[in-house]
Amino acid sequence: MPKPNRRIQALPPYPLTDVPGIKRDLRARGVDIIDLGTGDADLAPPPAAVEALRRAAGDSGNSRYPFQLGLVEFREEIARWMHGRFGVEVDPMTELALLIGSKEGIYHLPFAFLEPGDVTIVPDPGYQAYVGGTVLAGGVPHMVPLRPENDFLIPLDEIPADVVAKARILYLNYPNNPTAAIASMEYLERAVAWCREHDVILAYDNAYSEIAYDGYRPPSIFQVPGARDVAVEFHSISKTYNMTGWRIGWAAGAPELIGALTKIKTFCDTGVPFTIQHAGVAALRSHADWVPGNVATFQRRRDAAWQALVDAGFDLPRPAASMYLWVPLPAGVESEPWARRLLLEQGVAVLPGKSLGAGGEGFFRIALTCTEDRLREAAARIAQML
């Protein structure tokens, strides 16, 4: 039987692929599982999006191929939303690509711009799609550890010159998964300037732009002067609207960058279903009335989980954004064996830092995906492990 090619063999294992089976077996034995491992909230989507989907499903015209053009109304609503939210103008027809979730677009970007052996600069820990897309497109990921002493930012000035010479894409993700770090405008300005100087595409993963607390408002990369020359920004309806399984998002950028990504997609898929795009329109239109209440729920969960962990002896900052807590383990404790023991012995599922890259060793991630009481109970069980 033929073996998988070298690119497949070069991929790291996807994080904890056996854990769903373990959780299923534990539940079958009556174990009370508190699942904080996956960024998949237990909250409902906006009612307007659900109703729009119901209506759209009853229209036979929405069963046709959407292709990459998709629903013009959705494109126009995205453009209106980006202008209202960030003050950014985008052409709905030439500067947007509709995505089957932002992960799909992030994965496909390297296929449009990498030659074999080209380098991408990847945060470590980080979203696995950055590495997967790079490797399967024939590129080489250069992993840059995200360290507390650097505020979990990529120190651009410390990237080796030989790496910079081969670099074609820089991935940035703020608010960050998994560290929950945020980036100042001053840092983003330096990142744009660095990409312009070195002719590097800035892939800005802005999936958590709307989950922020205490008055903080994460920016768009396009609020930085000059970013349009180098940046592609990815947005997701998944996290903001509790629609992770609906698979819908978009990429924004200059026509040359978006056109190349769209061309790749024409050979891979036939677009986001019209029914889901109608739901996306309704979700975006519900932003002002619905999102603040959803974020308030996440903020209560953040406060409850953070306080419970601090009371249990952990030292971690209270994050300003995202739906995660990035928790340091005691020195010498390896994250993957510890997380497995936590699940088996205490019934709490968390994401070990190392599963998102070697740079995540020494930490674990908690997702704010259940009620405050359950988060407090999880913190108590975690404390028993330590």
Encode pLDDT of 103-112 as tens digits: 999 999 999 9
Structure tokens at 290: 């619905």
Structure tokens at 324: 């995660």
Q: State phi, psi for 64 to the nearest 5 degrees.
A: -80, 165
Question: What pLDDT, on the 0 to 100 scale, is given for residue 16?
Answer: 65
Q: What's the mean pLDDT when you consider all of the chain?
A: 96
Is the pLDDT at 386 greater than 90, yes or no? no
Question: What pLDDT, on the 0 to 100 scale, is given for residue 17?
Answer: 73
DSSP state of 343: I
Positive or negative, the Cα torsion across 383, 41, 244, 191?
A: negative
Question: What pLDDT, on the 0 to 100 scale, is given for residue 227?
Answer: 98
- Domain assignments of the chain as residue spans, ordered by start: 6-44+291-385, 61-288
Cβ pair 131, 125 in contact under 8 A: no
Question: What pLDDT, on the 0 to 100 scale, is given for residue 15?
Answer: 67
Q: Could you tell me the end-to-end alpha-carbon distance of the chain, in angstroms, rounded to an integer?
A: 47
Q: Which fold has domain 6-44+291-385?
A: Aspartate Aminotransferase, domain 1 (3.90.1150)
Question: What pLDDT, on the 0 to 100 scale, is given for residue 80?
Answer: 98
pLDDT in tens, 214-223: 999 999 999 9
Question: What pLDDT, on the 0 to 100 scale, is given for residue 20?
Answer: 82
Nearest to 35 by CA among 383, 376, 366: 366
pLDDT in tens, 122-151: 999 999 999 999 999 999 999 999 999 999
pLDDT in tens, 41-65: 999 999 999 999 999 999 999 999 9
Question: What pLDDT, on the 0 to 100 scale, is given for residue 94?
Answer: 98
Out of 16-30, 114-128, 291-305, 324-338, least confident range: 16-30
Long-range CB contacts (within 8 A, 24+) of 179-183: 179/125, 179/146, 179/152, 179/324, 179/326, 179/363, 180/319, 180/320, 180/321, 180/322, 180/324, 180/325, 180/326, 181/146, 181/151, 181/152, 181/153, 181/319, 181/326, 182/216, 182/218, 182/320, 182/321, 183/153
Contacts of 293 (CB under 8 A, 6+ apart): none
Contacts of 88 (CB under 8 A, 6+ apart): 82, 220, 222, 223, 252
Question: What pLDDT, on the 0 to 100 scale, is given for residue 381?
Answer: 96
Element (H, E) at 203: strand 201-205
In the chain, pLDDT over 70 holds for what percent of residues? 99
pLDDT in tens, 262-278: 999 999 999 999 999 99
Is the pLDDT at 181 greater than 90, yes or no? yes
Structure tokens at 141: 């990921």
Average pLDDT over residues 272-296: 98
Question: What pLDDT, on the 0 to 100 scale, is given for residue 258?
Answer: 98
Average pLDDT over residues 227-239: 97
Average pLDDT over residues 23-48: 92
Structure tokens at 265: 């997609």
Question: What pLDDT, on the 0 to 100 scale, is given for residue 40?
Answer: 92
Question: What pLDDT, on the 0 to 100 scale, is given for residue 206?
Answer: 98
Return the amino acid letter for 107.
Answer: Y
In the chain, pLDDT over 90 holds for what percent of residues? 92
Cβ pair 356, 15 in contact under 8 A: yes
* 61-288: CATH, from 3.40.640.10, 3.20.20.105, 1.10.3720.10, 3.30.1360.30: 3.40.640.10
**pLDDT level of residue 2 (50, 70, 90 thresholds):** confident
Rounded-to-integer distance, Cα 68 and Cα 45, Å: 25
